Amino acid sequence: MTSKVLIIATNGFEQSELLKPRENLENAGVSTTLASPETGSIKGWNHTDWGESVDVDMSIEDVDVEQYDALLLPGGQMNPDILRMNGKVIQIVRDFDAAGKPIAAICHAPWLLAEAGLIEGRTVTGWPSIRTDLTNAGGNVVDREAAIDGNLVTSRNPDDIPAFSKALLDLLGVKKSSSELAESDA
């Protein structure tokens, strides 16, 4: 049976942190669905300017957590900052955790884990500017490519995408080596 991963993003997602992990998942035979509070398409951020648009598959309002095996949360500064103010998004994050399903958050996306109250007592990482927030949320913050704690996978930045993707695939029971995985364009 094919694993199914839900990706949640909105305008301002870090382009490589959505596109490359999604590519890695799909190349490994995992099905992905992009949900957003927006309809139609959302626009990525590519390093220092607006990047590509990607089509949204479904509204956040229509998400049924039971239909998915894992959750992927791309970073960028704007994307998670907007999403953490959306009660439905935070409830979805909590529901994935309550079900023990893998949640993978990269860069600034661990803000969503903090907002959902999932950081306390957990080992996590993230972009350097949010590490104080993660510590204040009760996390044991480390500086490594992929911090894995139970069902949570967190990473620091686009350079960590191969390790981030591999950690999520491992939690899904899909074996791939890091050398088989697409890297960031950073």
Tell me the catalytic residues.
Answer: 108
3 state DSSP class of 160: helix
Cross-strand pairs, 36: 59
Neighbour count for residue 178 (Cβ, 10 Å): 16
Tokens 């990482």 correspond to what residue? Answer: 125
Question: Which residues contact residue 185 at a Cβ distance below 8 angstroms, ignoring those fewer than 6 apart?
Answer: 15, 16, 20, 46, 158
Identify each DSSP E strand in 28-155 by its residue range.
31-36, 41-46, 49-55, 58-59, 70-73, 103-106, 123-124, 140-141, 147-149, 152-155
| Rounded CA separation 19/22 (Å) | 5
Q: Are 63 and 6 in contact (CB under 8 A)?
A: yes
